[in-house]
Every structure is written in structure tokens, then in C-alpha cells.
Chain A
């Protein structure tokens, strides 16, 4: 009995050790680039290619100040916060309304319109640059915050609608009927029932889109001329010359740019795990 028990404990421990070793390996491969980024941010342009140690011999914290001032990060940072907040809010409101309509309402051409939205995901962003720029120019929205925000909302809608529609399809009809009997309008059902019900899916949409907007710069370059309207990623480009790159300052800038998005992820990880672990698709 004892022998069987010992074998069971041993197998369990071995399996656990193997699993944890594998997961630690995966975690290290994920964390190492972040560690390397911070390490390089603490070096100089001369030592970054020479000092091969994991911990730099001489730490230079001045790169962070240099990145903040030379990259004009204060303005870009605020712009990125505004863009991310507005775009994510816009995407959540519009996509949840659209997904609710696709899932719960009957109207002519519903499926065609839905598949058109889904098909829009297949068009890569660079492929739509020229028509988008021409359209924004005609609408006099080039070089405006509103123009950029509208474009970015458009970019994030397809996937968000797909995720939320799948989620709303699983919502029990009985709940909706009960709410209607209690006097809820369609908007009321969306607000009081559908949105709270879809919280994990919304968390996934928030983090995916926040990440997308925070890291976006090509569309910003295309639509914005005024550097005071540019997002944070624009500041990072200052350190990438045509022929040479100031790696330590660039890494310091990247470190600062990564912190807010890591914070958002940490804050919402509970919902994200729920959303991705099956509750989104039922």
C-alpha cells in the first residue's frame, strides 16, 4: 500500500516538476526580451554592443530622461492615452451594439452585412491606406484627432463584433424574454443584460484594441502632419535614424511605452483569462 502510495506521489511530483519546468521555460522566453530591453536601456550606445554580460557593468539611467525629453514623450504620451481611451470606448460601444443587433434582431440583409464586417478583417491595414487617406482628406479629417480616432475605431470593429456576436448568441433567450416582460426596451436589454453578461469578452476586446492602438503609428503618420497630435510610437522613431539607431535611448523609450499596457493587462487579466478560456465561445 505504502509502495503504491510512494509511486503515486513520485509520479505526481515528476509530472508536476516536468510541467513546471516547461512552463518556466516558456515564461523565461516571454520575459527575456523585456529583461533585455530594460538591460539595454541602462547602457550607452558605445557599451551596448561591447558589454556582453547579463547585468551591465555601468548603469546609465540618463537614457530615460533623454528619451522623455528628446522624444517629446510628454505630449505623445498624453496623445496616446487620449487615442487609446477614445478608440477603445468607441469600439466597445459600437461593436457591442452591432453585435447585439446581429445576434438578437431580425432585419433584411443581416447575414450579408455581418459577413461583410467579418470579411473586412481580411484586408490588411496597409492595403487600405491610400483610399482611407483620400476619404479622410475629402472629409477634412486629415490632421485631426477625430479623423485618427474614427479610423482606428473602424480598424478594431470587425474582430470585436465577431467576438461579441458569438458571445451574445449564447445568451439565454429566457433572460431576454423576462427582461422584456419587466418592461425593458431593446436598448435596456443591451445595457442592463447583454453588456454585464459579456464582461469577459469585453475585457478581451479592451486589451486587444488597447494594445493595437497603443502600438500603432503607421496610420498616425499617414493621417497626422502636426507632431503635437502624434501618438507615443512616433517619439520612438526619433531614435531610429536612416542609417544608425540609438539603441539604449530607443530601449528606454520602449520600456516607458510598455509600462502602461502591461498595467492594463495586469489590471484586466482576471477577465481576459475568463474570456479566452471558453466563456467567450461558450
Chain B
């Protein structure tokens, strides 16, 4: 009995200690992703890659994204990450992966051949996946991710509904937008819908107008605490939302609406305008393939500064820093983001390609979205971001304006109060 117990204990300890051999280079790459809608396209491309190079790429899908993220964290801790994978977490987590040696710096590969690979991709998307010298995360500067598509957020308009209200062309200015909204209301059409129950989307819309009204320097100065939210320019930003409410522009219940439901509303012709991301092309196609719509940037309220929209890398892959097949993995990603493959991906998945040369082959709506990439920005590439507590107070304030609970001035004062509290806390911590 005791001998049996001892043998069992030895076997268990031996197994627990692990006796695996270090992985060796091979002609097989493993790629983990979370995108169910891109699985078949990626598999087809992997087959094509095998025919061309003899390298087998095993595309493994793990959805939904929450389960995928758990798997990535667990696999990182167990040291069994695949050759190619994506990290869906925030930038600080990506930084932790990089510092642990789990992500390869792709800068040398990107800059080889006079930067051919780098130059073929949208610079804004690459910037999103780069770490600059002196970054707050302490990561060596470089490009660490390869976006296989890009996204941006713009306004969409339903051509039939606009025509029904007698509107001949989409609005070019905010005043024209308000005028069109009134015309739509007159014929019983809801002018505008968006998933503003999701604060990030509301924040994105407000940020577009902040750039348009005061320009980037003043926005960042506000984040640094050098400009107050009670400044007349910020009041103008809040007034954009007050005007929307005053003129009956938003759909009822917009501040509690998730984007998924807002997308349903627009796809089914329940609203004439929407504010959404470029992924909506795929969603609308699924729900209503006959929807006739176009894309415009949010109509500017001022001519002082250009209106900037949010745009960034979409789905992004990284190469495992500990993979024995690093070079082959980089070569595959280079091939995947080449023009030919990007055209296939864009056509099959209705996403904006990350390779700018592939844009000519996309649908007209996607091309309209793509035009916005040059005027895009994103919080991930800003030199600094607002304190999250202040951002939340800001967005909640916008919701309060939209439901008529507060005036722009009241919200401005309230946000400024939160800002001062957070600044005081920060000063105390620094002491």
C-alpha cells in the first residue's frame, strides 16, 4: 500500500514538474484569433499560403472575445502562446506582454527594403500599435502589432429617407444637419440614432467637435489642467448636444441605447442618420442587404480647426517573442497584409483593409469610410489622455444634456469640479 502511494506520488510530482522539450522551428505556424466572421476567409488564405510557400498555418478560432482574452492570459502564464496571436486588452496589458518578451518588435521587418511594408499600411493604424520613445509604459520604442484592418467612426445617412424628406444632398455643416433634421421630423422620420448608451461612442462624437472647435493643443492643455472645462470653447462643445436635443434630432432613448440596437434601427430604416464605426457595413449587410446609404464625416460646427474623427487599427496580430518560428510568422503577416490578400479579406469580410493600396478594390461605402482615415486621430496615439473619472463625468454630463436634465453651463461647471478634485488627488499622490 505504502509503496503504491509512493509510486503514485512520484508519478504526480514528475508530471507536475513537467518534462516538455523546448519547441523547435518547424514548417507549421499556429495563429489564434477571436473573429468568427473572418475565420473562413483566413482559412482560405492560409491554404493559399501553404500552396505558395509550403508553410502550414493553423488558424484557430476562439470566440467570444472575452473567452479568448482569458485564454491568452492563461497561455501566457503557462508559456504556451502560439506563434501569432492578438491581444484584446488595453495598452498597459500589451506593454506587460512586451516586457515579458512575449511580443516581437516588428520595426526591423517593417523598415526593411526602405520601409516598404510599413509604407504600405495606414500610418495612423501603425501608430496605434507602436510605442514611442519615453512612453509611460517603459517599453522599448518600436512597432509591435500588425493591423489586418482599420476602423473609423463617421456619420451615415439613409439615401431613401433623405429623399423622402426632400433633402437632395447630405449636410456639409452642422447648421445644415439641424435644418435637415427638422425637415425629417416634419415628415415623421426620426433624424438620428447612435449607441450613446455606450459612453465611448458619445465621447468619440464629442471629441470630434472638440477638435473642430478648439484644435488639439487646447484639448491637451485641458487634460493637463491648464484650460478649464468652463472655457467658452468647451461650452460650445456641450452646446452641440443641447442643440441636438432642442431640435429633436436624436431618437428617443438614445442615451440608454447600446450600439447593437442603434445599428438595427438604422439598418431597418428607423432613423435617417447614424453615428457608427466602419464595421457597421458588415452589420448592415447582414440585416438589410438592400439598405442604400452613404458616409459623411460629422458635419463641422466651425471652420476654425479641421474636424478630426476617431480612426485606428482594427484587428491586430502580434508575433510571439518566444516562438522558434518568429521569422516565418513575420513573413506570413507581411504576406497577409499585402495588397492581394487584403483585397480578399476586405471583400469577404466588409472591413476596411489596413493596406492603403487595397482600398481601390473595396465597395463604394467602404471607400467613403476610407477617405476619413487621413483626418483620423485616436486617444491611443494622443500624447496624453484625460483622467477616466473626469471622462466619465464629461460623458454623463452629455447624456444629462441630451435628456434635458442639465444645461451646457451646468455640465461644464460639474465636469470642472470633478477635474479639480482629480488634480488635487494627483498632486497629493505626487507629494
Cβ-defined partner of A240 (8 Å) among B36, B60, B68, B280: B36
Asked whether any CB of chain B lies closer than 8 Å to the CB of A242, the reply is: yes
Q: How far is the CB of B281 from chain A (nearest CB, A)?
A: 10
**In the assembled complex, which residues on chain B have CB atoms less than 8 Å from the CB atom of A135?**
16
Which chain A residues border B283 with CB–CB below 8 Å? 243-244
Q: CB-defined interface of A106-134 with B at 8 Å, one 1/0 digit per residue?
A: 00000000000000000000100110111
Q: Known: A46-B289, A244-B282, A244-B283. Contact between A237 and B63, CB under 8 A?
A: yes
Confirm or deny: A137 has a beta carbon within 8 angstroms of a beta carbon on chain B. Answer: yes
Majority DSSP secondary structure for residues of B touching A: helix
B282, A225: Cβ atoms closer than 8 Å: no
Q: In whole angstroms, what is the CA distance A135 to B280 when docked?
A: 41
Say if the beta carbon of B174 comes within 8 Å of chain A. Answer: no
A159 interfacial by beta-carbon distance below 8 Å: no
Q: Chain B residues near A134: list those with CB within 8 A.
A: 74, 77-78
Q: Which residues of the other chain, A, contact B17 by a CB distance below 8 angstroms?
A: 138
Q: A45-B287, A242-B35, A243-B282 are in contact. Are A222 and B71 (CB under 8 A)?
A: yes
User: Do A137 and B80 have beta carbons less than 8 Å apart?
Assistant: yes
CB of B100 within 8 Å of the partner chain = no
Chain A contact residue count (CB 8 A cutoff) = 31
* B417 proximal to A (CB < 8 A): no
Q: Map CB proximity to B onto A39-64 as digits: 1 under 8 Å, 0 otherwise.
A: 00000011001100000000000000
Question: Measured between alpha carbons, how far is A222 from B91 in the docked complex, in Å?
Answer: 23
Instruction: Find the A residue at minimum CB distance from B267.
Output: A49
In contact, A139 and B16 (Cβ under 8 angstroms): yes
Q: Is the CB of A246 within 8 A of B71?
A: no
Given A138-B18, A242-B35 in contact, is the A221-B67 Cβ separation under 8 Å?
Answer: yes
A residues near B (Cβ < 8 Å) are 45-46, 49-50, 126, 129-130, 132-135, 137-140, 142, 217-218, 221-222, 225, 227, 237-244, 246
Can you list 11 A-B contacts with CB-CB less than 8 angstroms, sorted by A residue number? A45-B286, A46-B287, A49-B268, A126-B70, A135-B16, A138-B18, A142-B80, A218-B70, A221-B70, A241-B37, A242-B37
Knowing that A129-B74, A130-B77, A240-B63 are A-B contacts, what are 8 other residue pairs whose CB atoms are under 8 Å apart, sorted by A's residue number? A46-B288, A129-B70, A140-B15, A140-B18, A222-B74, A239-B36, A242-B63, A243-B280
